[in-house]
Structure 1
Amino acid sequence: MRTLTYAMNVSLDGYVAAPGGDLGWSVPSDELFRYWSDRVAATDLALYGAGLWRSMSSYWPHADEQPDATPAEREYARRWRDMPKVVFSSTVTAVDWNTRLVTGDTLAEIARLKTEGGGPMDIGGATLAAAAMRAGLVDEYVLLTAPVLVGGGTPFFTTLDARVALDLVETRELEGDVVLCRYRVQHR
């Protein structure tokens, strides 16, 4: 069975975006950018909600064509285009760049994808991840915590109906005082 991981940059007070969708606080250091690029390269399938898809697809498909793109940005853009992706949305009408669109039962499709053969899956987008969390479909959480309090916005975690026991399986500090913590869900 595939592993489903929810991984995002997060503020110390638990938000993936500040009020108004502001992400200015989460500009990655070179080391953090390499982490995300390597994660994209190792991900067998990425699951996106509509908001994250719109954000990523508005820039990364052609980022390597920008005259000021760094070698790291060129590599990330290539890896992102090549990575298989699924977008779950009732508002997105077309997708490209090795992506397919699902407009039906999101949770049933995620559960089905988990049972397919293949490598690890990542889920991105707070709303999509919240639905998967509530359904018990997320196997790992990776928080890349920035040393900033944003005071509100889009939370990393959703309200759950029951406690979820976790095991800490990795911690490390990255440039800019970002702390990576990876937790695995204790499945019963």
Structure 2
Amino acid sequence: MRKLTFGMNLSLDGYVAAPGDDLGWSVPSDELFQWWSDRVGATDLALYGRRLWETMSSHWPTADQQPGATPAQKEYARRWRDMPKVVFSSKTFKVDWNTRLVTGDAVTEITRLKAEDGAPMDMCGATLAAAAARAGLIDEYVLVTAPVLLGGGKPFFTALDNWVNLTLVETRTFPGGVLLTRYETRR
């Protein structure tokens, strides 16, 4: 059975995007960027919600060809393109870069994918993660908390039907006071 992890950058007050889907507050240090890149390199399959997919696919497929792209950005772009991805959306649209689209029930498909053999899967997108969390499908939460208060926006966590008990398995500090905390779900 595959492990499913939900991880994103978030503000100290718990938002993954400021109002208007502004992500300008979450620019990672080189060290944190490398950590995210290594994570992508170790992920067998990434599950995306439509909005985050649109953001990522508008930049990363050609980021390595942009003037001034750093070696780390080039590596991330290659890893991102190569990693198999599934996008969940109620709308039909074209996907590229080693990606397939699922327009049916996300929880049913995520349950099926988890039951397969394989390396870990990453959940990308707070709305998709909310459905997976309510269904009890997330095995690990990775919070990369920036020392900024946004006061509103898209929350990392949404309302749940039941408590989710967690065990802290890692903490790490990155430049700029960014704190990574990793928790496993206790079942």
Q: Is the 8 A contact 1:9 1:144 kept in 2?
A: yes
Gapped runs of 5+ residues in structure 1?
none
Q: Report the RMSD for the aligned CA atoms in angstroms.
A: 0.7
Amino acid across the alignment from 1:109? E
**1:94 alignment partner in structure 2:** 94
**1:104 alignment partner in structure 2:** 104
Secondary structure at the aligned position of 2:128 is classed as helix
**1:177 alignment partner in structure 2:** 177
Rounded to whole Å, the distance in 1 between the matches of 2:92 and 2:34 is 29
Rounded to whole Å, the distance in 2 between the matches of 1:16 and 1:121 is 20
Q: Is the 8 A contact 1:11 1:148 kept in 2?
A: yes
Rounded to whole Å, the distance in 2 between the matches of 1:128 and 1:164 is 17
Amino acid across the alignment from 2:132? A
Cα displacement string for residues 18-57 of structure 1 (whole angstroms, at most 9, x for unaligned residues): 1111111100100110011000000000000000000000
Secondary structure at the aligned position of 1:77 is classed as helix
Rounded to whole Å, the distance in 1 between the matches of 2:56 and 2:91 is 16
Per the normalisation by structure 1, the TM-score is 0.98
Runs of 4+ with >4 A deviation: none
**2:50 alignment partner in structure 1:** 50
1:92 CA displacement: 4.3
Rounded to whole Å, the distance in 1 between the matches of 2:71 and 2:113 is 33
Gapped runs of 5+ residues in structure 2?
none
Secondary structure at the aligned position of 2:32 is classed as helix
1:151 CA displacement: 0.3
Rounded to whole Å, the distance in 1 between the matches of 2:44 and 2:24 is 29
Amino acid across the alignment from 1:38? D
**2:38 alignment partner in structure 1:** 38
Query: Percent identity between the aligned chains?
Result: 73
Rounded to whole Å, the distance in 1 between the matches of 2:92 and 2:18 is 24
**2:114 alignment partner in structure 1:** 114
